[in-house]
Amino acid sequence: MGSGKRSLTTVTMALACACACACAVLAASGPAYASPTPTPTSTRTTSPDLTLPPTSTPTSVSNKELEAVRTKLDTLYHSAAVATDAYNAAEEKVKEQSAQIVGLAREIVEGQERLDDLKDLAGAAARAQYRSGGLTPEAQLWLSEDPQEFLDGAGRVRQGEHATEGLLAEMTRTQQDLEQYAKDASAQWTKLESNREAKDEAKKKVKQQIAAAEKLESQLEAAEKARLAKLEEEAAYQAQTNWLNSGVTLGGGETSAQGKKAVAYATAQIGKAYEWGAEGPKTYDCSGLTSQAWASAGDGIPRTSQEQWKQLTRVDIKDMRPGDLIIYFDDASHVAMYIGDGAMVHAPRPGRTVTIAGAGSMPILGVVRPDA
């Protein structure tokens, strides 16, 4: 895979696009080239008009109109990807905070049990002191028939007093701990509720954007949908061609053992459907695929593409090797796994399946390495 030749690129692009012209060009001999990180594109968030021109009928949609539809669909699915990342992030936080609340509840229960035990011990000590009559040590010495016995007893009393003081101090600490646990649990609960609301809001946005895209596509008949798919393939092919011919040679670094395992896992999922918020084993979203692939290799990584971009080690495109993750768009809303020779595997969007495509078929933000 590190040869830098286009032989494997030919196969991968044929799998991804099934486009005759693409296969012919990608089959050409010569080294493959990669560009420096392209200038990020602006995040597309505006909602487009969701209907075709009123005068158009499914059989009269021009290529220009279909191109406008393709652009609108890109915008809608990009917005859905952004919302999906927000949903996944909120879901991770909900899981984390739920676990923390459970841990704090356990601490509170155990602390209360300890406090009850301490109170019992302190009560027993107090009762023992009461039974001694509450006399001063001097009075007890005068009344004692055996001074040595008194002195031995006095030592035990002092020990008992020290023990009682220790019990009271531990009771105070335990009570303070319980109060802190309760405050922490309350704070975590507030955060949990906030992230649940964020998760629900993100879920609503995902569904809205996908529904809008499906409504737009439903206005096309089979022939127009086929032409639209062809336009998508051609746009991806053109972007890949520009990327390969931009002048920077692809890296040929040796793949790590973990990287090979991650690639094997990801490519074994080819053909499985995209589903937002999913992380296998039957369906995936983009970061669900990459995070599970690396988990299978024994290296846990962040769940979302944005956190993968923030937390993992960044590498130059020229040093990219199979197993590395390619982050797309200026908002890091999409991620794929590089598999070598200019190709990547990813879960594209709703309505698509896990597939192999050109690594440069979308605007690249950067590359990260999970096992750096």
- The residues that are catalytic are 286, 334, 346
What residue type is 256 in one-letter code? S
To 10 degrees, what angle do helices 222-244 and 63-131 make?
A: 80
d(CA 238, CA 162): 83
Give the strand pairing for 313-315 and 355-358.
Answer: unpaired
Q: Residue 136 has which token pair?
A: 């001063």
* 49 contact partners, CB below 8 Å, separation of at least 6: 72
* Contact residues for 368 (Cβ-Cβ < 8 A; gap 6+): 308, 309, 312, 313, 314, 315, 324, 325, 327
Nearest to 366 by CA among 308, 296, 279: 308
Instruction: For residue 48, give both structure tokens.
Output: 């487009």
Tell me the C-alpha distance between 175 and 172, whole Å.
5
Rounded CA-CA distance 308/7 in Å is 30
Residue labelled with tokens 């964020």: 198
Q: Is 92 exposed, middle or buried (0-12, 13-18, 19+ CB in 10 A)?
A: middle
CA distance 289 to 357: 15
Encoding tokens for residue 60? 């009269």
CA atoms within 13 A on the CB side of 353: 12
The residue behind tokens 């200026």 is 330
